[in-house]
Every structure is written in structure tokens, then in C-alpha cells.
Amino acid sequence: MKLDSKFITLEGVDGAGKSTCINFIKKYLADKKLKSIFTREPGGTLLGEKLREILLHDKITPETETLLMFAARNEHIQQVIKPNLQSGINVISDRFTDATYAYQSGGRYVEMKKITILRNWVHGELNPDLTLLFDLPIDVSLARLKSNGHLDKFEKEAADFHIRIKDSYLALAKKEPDRFEVIDSNQNISNIEKEIYLVLDKLFL
């Protein structure tokens, strides 16, 4: 069954400005009178938010990290993403499975094929209709993070970790150019906003 509702995900290195851009997207959808919900990963459900605290702050092995990400994701899909899409409501998620490929495979060296097995098990044919990838030079990303103060364990990682994540994201975007739209986050906010609006027009109009 073809659904009119859309599943949109936002991805990118830490400090790329996704939170600011969510406000642009909210305004766009409100102006178009499109029913939408905004959610995040890890999180989005009671269990997901509990797991988020562990994932962002506790020292655990990369494999455990990956498994917990998918445990949180399964709840998120079953409780939030699928029910809303089936009700005709657009779902916009701050991160989804691409983040696991980038952070746990690219960043932590977990085998990509293991992540793919979990991906196929947990969400099969459910994929985002659009993924906005906010790209930023790593030196700019790290400078932004330093100015923020309270950092989680991923944000505290060394530069080479963040470089691997950035490279992983760009490789994913190259593989699926029809789904990904790469946004240069190192430009004027008004230009970023215009780019996002054009991309959303292409999806919804």
C-alpha cells in the first residue's frame, strides 16, 4: 500500500546544526498544513530515552552499543514511526540507521555486514523517503562542539573518529543518491534554509 505520508531523517556529524534545521522543517510543514511528528534516535520512546542515557554516557563495547541502538530503534519503529506513517502523518527523525553505519561501523569498526543483518531484521523494507545529510568540515565541527560545553562520549572522541564518521556518511550518500540530499552546513543559515525548502518542495509537491 502506497502511503502519502513521508519518512524523513536528518543525519550528519556532531555540530552540523541539525537542531537549528529542524526548526526550518517544522515551519515548512506547518505552513503547508502537513501533519507531522518530530522524533529522535536513540530515543523517541520511554525505553529509547532510557537507552539513550546509557548509549551517550556509559562505557560499553562497540558491539553492545550497536545492539542497544537497534533495540531502541525497534521500539521506536513499532511505537512511533510505523503507526504515524500508517495514519498519514509525516515522521521526521533526528538520526536513524545511517547513523549506526556511520558511528558504529565507521567510527567503532563494527563490521558493516553485522549492522546490515540487524537492519534487515528490525526494519526490513522500511526506509526513509528522504535523508538530509548535513555535512561540515571536521575542524569546524570540533570547534562548535568545544563551544557547547556539555559533551557526550561520542562528541568527546578524537578528530580521527569524527573524520571516519564523516567519510562513512558521504559513502552512504554516494551509494543512495536518490534518497540522500547533502547539505553544506558551513554556509550562511539563510542559504541552508533555502536548500532545505527546495528539497522539501521536491518531495511534497
User: Which domains are seen in the chain, by residue range?
Assistant: 7-204 (3.40.50.300)
Where residue 147 falls (left for φ over 0; alpha for ψ -120 to 50; beta otherwise) is alpha
Of 3-7, 78-82, 155-159, where does mean pLDDT reach its minimum?
3-7
Q: Are 25 and 199 in contact (CB under 8 A)?
A: no
In whole numbers, what is the pLDDT of the chain averaged over residues? 94
Q: Are 105 and 81 in contact (CB under 8 A)?
A: no
Which pLDDT belongs to residue 3?
Answer: 62
Report the alpha-carbon distance of residue 137 to residue 34 in Å, rounded.
33
| Neighbouring-strand partners of residue 180 | 131
> Where does the pLDDT of residue 146 fall: very low under 50, low under 70, confident under 90, or very high at 90 and above?
confident
CB count, 10 Å around CB of 24? 17
Please provide the size of the chain in residues: 205
> Where does the pLDDT of residue 175 fall: very low under 50, low under 70, confident under 90, or very high at 90 and above?
very high
- pTM as predicted: 0.95
Backbone angles phi, psi at 129, to 5 degrees: -75, -30
State pLDDT tens for residues 59-105.
Answer: 999 999 999 999 999 999 999 999 999 999 999 999 999 999 999 99
In the sheet that holds 90-94, the strands lie side by side as 36-40, 90-94, 7-12, 130-135, 180-184
Report the alpha-carbon distance of residue 16 to residue 165 in Å, rounded.
12
DSSP string, 67-115: HHHHHHHHHHIIIIIHHHHHTT-EEEEE--HHHHIIIIIIIT---HHHH
Nearest to 54 by CA among 42, 44, 40, 63: 42
Q: Are 169 and 58 in contact (CB under 8 A)?
A: no
> Where does the pLDDT of residue 150 fall: very low under 50, low under 70, confident under 90, or very high at 90 and above?
confident
| Strand-pair category, 7-12 with 90-94 | parallel
> Where does the pLDDT of residue 202 fall: very low under 50, low under 70, confident under 90, or very high at 90 and above?
very high
Rg (the chain; Cα; Å): 16
